[in-house]
Chains A and B, each alone.
Chain A
Amino acid sequence: LKTKDSRCENATSLSYLFAFLFCFSGAAATRAQIMTPHYIVALTQTKDSTGTVGTITVTVSGYATVAPGVPTSTRHTPNAFLTIDGVGGTSYGAPVCASCNVYATKSVTATFDNQTDSCFLGGDDPTTGCYFLVNTNGQVICTMAGNLFSGGTNDYHSITVSFSGTPVVPQAGSASITATVTNNATSLPMTLAISTNPSITGSAVFGNGLTNMNIADTTNLVVAGTLVSSVPGNMNIIATVTVDSRKTIIGRTSFTVDYTNGAIPVDFRQTSATKVNPAQLQFGYVWSSSAGGLSALGSCRVREFVTYPGYVAGVQGRYYWTPPYVTGPNSYTNNPDTANTPVFATLGATGVTDIQGNVGFGLPPYTTNMVPSIQVFQFQCTYYQNNAWIQLYPTSGTILITRTVLNVNGTWQYNIQKAGLSNTGNLP
């Protein structure tokens, strides 16, 4: 148990197993005379009986002391942010009155190796070389005071590695995977190892002919398929760092070794992330071919696939926007939405630009609104898997996009978040 602020007296009353509590009060110093926040961000971890599947939960709760004169219409909206290896996102709690208790919680379940992820499970002292993959944040937005409170952890997130989208490695062929390393200021060597579950067949090697290699910086890996996977996605590349004789997993990706009958799109990667006015996010993506250059992908296509609340698999529905967005018979987005894709896979060097915007806003009065959507990129090739659409990026999980409308400090604002990027604009 760790308490960052001794003023948080209620923290020890929380009976969480392996709980880290971060308690704050008076975070909004300039507003202290009006509202004094008493909020807690709690991080809890549980694991299943095998010790390999764990769930981490971040919770933000508490209340604010409110001075006389604060309008009764003031509302506080909490949100809890949690990512493990970049997977996860933000969960919003219900808006409540200024002095009322807020509550927001976000959980992410992860599979990990009990042996090498011990610090992750046990909450060991990071000074001994423990590398957490967990980013958390709890936040409370006040309609009058704006960002009333924000607190969390990412201080142990020393090194990260993320992998581009290569879901399939051709049998007797090869595919590239970009391992992007960040925050490795000391060039700590990182070991990449290809592995699979012993009870499942399939094998692959790196370009050096081995199942292990070391990198310290962003590297374009070559992976060759040597034995077809008996189960899709069974091959793993696990990245570990070793500090003080202690090995910790800092990232992983999975793929399938398969007969592809031709070149397929691989190495799908984000090349840019930019805020664009007004309140839009713009991302660039490119990809490569597993063989023969991009021109070999003439029978392949790439598309985005975005779903909104209410999506039913296999059904082409519509998501109708609700106030404060413009409403009406034409104010809908296809659900799922493939935007202006598919595009030709031969365009990989040119890639695509993905702009996440909004449908526009109606007239005041505005209301609070939060819409999550889920994005993945997929490919299809006529000669592979009967032309089925295969998830290309991310290779597992999804990309969460959230659109939020909140009244901050008396101003109605629209915020959009995706892949760690956030942009906010005022409503007209």
Chain B
Amino acid sequence: MPQLKIDIIRIAYFIGRSASLSSMWIVRLLSLGATMLLILDLAGTSAGGQAPAQGQRVLVLYSDDRLLPANIIVDEAIRAAFAVGTKNRVEFYSEFLDVARFPGEEQQQRQRDFYRDKYRERPPDLVIAVSGGALVFLAKHRAELFAGVPIVYCSFAGDPHPDLLSDARIAEVAVPYCVAPTLEMMLHLHPDTRQVAVVSGSGPRDRQLADAFRQEMTTLRDRVAFTWLTNLSMEELRGELSRLADHTVVLYLTMFQDAASKTFTPRQALDAFAPASRAPIYSCYDTYVGHGIVGGSVVTFEEIGRKAAQLGIRILAGEDGQVAARSMSHQAVPVFDWRELRRWNISAQRLPPGSIVRFKEATYWEKHGELILGAVSLCAVEAFLIGALLVQLRRRRLAERSLRDSEERMSLAAEAANLGMWVWDVMRDKIWMTDKGRALFGFAPDTRLDNAALISRVHPEDRAARAAAIKRAIETQGKYVMEYRVLLPDGTQRWIGARGQCMNAGDAKGTRLLGVSMDVTAQKLAQDALRESEARFRTMANTAPVMIWMSATDKLCTFFNKGWLDFTGRPLEQELGNGWAEGVHREDFDRRFEVYVNSFDARQPFTMEYRLRRSDGEYRWVLDIGSPRFAPDGTFLGYIGSCIDITERKQAEAEARQHREEIAHLSRVAIMGEMAGSIAHELNQPLGAIVTNAGAALRSLRRDSLSGEKLREVLQDIVADGRRASEVIHTIKGMGRKEEGARQLLHLNDVITEVLRLVRSDALAHDCTVLPWLHPALPKVEGNLVQLQEVFLNLILNAFEASEGVPKVRRRVIIRTERDGDGAVRASVRDFGTGLPADAPERIFDRFFSTKRDGTGIGLFIARSIVVAHGGTLYAENAEGSGAQFWLRLPASTEIGV
């Protein structure tokens, strides 16, 4: 018995030490959640390897861009739902029509031909059409494409009705437009709201959704005023939002494109304008949550994807799609961003029941509760153990106290820590184990235990590893740490974490192994789930046709997908950390770095373009979109970003701009050339006749064959031709008046808007911001559309060129229209450039006077002639501050109607 007593004392020491070890386990397990995305098994699985010989093929056809966040979510949800919903092997194909940016019949035909060839060998068994663009495409081309294949159609607000395909094999997942519930919720949370500012973009799809919204909101029109923030450029929108009146709330629909024709994903647009808003923003799309909206009533895209997949599975299993579709319903849920609630001081208690609050910062207790609890209980155990030890020591000194008491206390202490303690006398093969320990292995408290009994409970696959670990501990007199599975007699399986130490009481016979075991099943399962989700992420990332990177909280990159590595042609090890930066073009590096670091520190998403070296050594332009990553509890984890090669797009843009510049220049040169040509022709005709007549008369005189009668005729003709020449000059002077037949009633704002559309790329090329401050209720004017456009084209292009020398922030052109009394309309074009020649600003209207290096000096001359011919005036002055201002005044039409 004395040997056992010493062992127990040793166990007490050991538990004291292992208690701190255990706390480290807990820390590690807790931090696993945080590190989940960082621990990547890079040798992982790849799903794209081999196609199944037989299986079902599902083609998901998206209307929009591949990187639209909603599409990413829907795609993932569809695949996940198929994975759990069917045992069949399903091959997925995703196609993205991107109709917003690539409209037009020809483009669709090219896409049709491409798909027809691509899927000839692998026709899909099911097509899932996501939103209206895809349906319209199928409706047009289905005869040649996927004829007879059943279709699941996810329709959103404003999308066409599925009847467009008069086909019984189409089943619809109709997603309700949740603006009405969102509006109700906004008014509930902000009862003193006076107006709702609706933000919508200028793209065709934006318009479509805005129209759908207008229909939805009719019932609410009596309760609150609506203002529309639409047809604005991003800059203007930010300005408007920053000036909103009190008691305003903002409802954001979508912005695929702004008035300056800049395109976005609506979420990017939100990222760009949300920080400027001085009123809270709401919306009904789930992907916006976390990007500056307070919240909204949403049907999550995940749910939409899941529903579409479930419907698809039922159709593939032979059910009638339309019947199946009828049995589905979609529940909108209120979702909020906790940070925004705090920002706008909205109490969580006011939120509707069932609300989901995301990005909630955990309280200290919520974040670290488990750790605190663990630490406190371990401290308690340690204190307890120390106490027990002291008692034990005292008892030993007294030498007469019952051993069993301390044994019980030890067991109690271990039980409190949920640990099973054990001592294995290796030589005698006797195992002592606390009741808690026995329970872990499913042994009754009084059974005699030996190694064979224990092994019988260990999962057969783990036996060898366990035996090896024990053997090593005994041989090295060292420690033994391992995790293994235990199979209980009732068939349940659990994971045991065991730590032990070999103790030797002086000789080989005294070799003992003592240690603790605990149940780690829950942690193990969590770990497995984590691995599985990581593997899924990796598969997705590696099969996605984009380049994906991830970084950790220290800004260093921890992951690059296959797409990236294939692009740069470098192994992962070289790219990790800051290695990727070697591939960034030297000229772009500083800017790339600055955007990244600044966004990172502000935890803001970013979008940037830079050149990256491809494996063949060529630098390609890539568009890189990065977003911060947060754990479910709101902890910041780092960034994730995706890149696509936009070199071709950029080239096309540059070419289009150059083309446009050439046309503008040519048209100006052509005007002058044409004028000169017509003047020449009109004048040369009579002059030629005069010279020839006079020559003929002189010759006849010389030959003395000129009668008086003949001379009179010649002279009469010469006089008539002289008059004719003078008339020609007179007509040219009043040339503007000649075009009177082509006059029509015009809105000056329309003329300007059309010109602004023409000069958009010039504005970009000159880095100029155009601010059209157009009065909404101007009287019409009577005029020639093309000529007036020519006038504004001249003035605006001049303004751009005048802005060239000034810093970018000052490169603005303000175009204003207003009434000028009752009878006239006034427009002004103002720049902040170099201004007019101080001595004689009016000279710029002179013919062939130009301040520009390559100017013809004819543009303003023509512009003024046109305006004067319209009965108006055009003059210029140096504006206050800097730059030039051109004033154009035209008489208003006398016809009634605005």
Chain A bound to chain B: no
Chain A residues within CB distance 8 Å of chain B: none
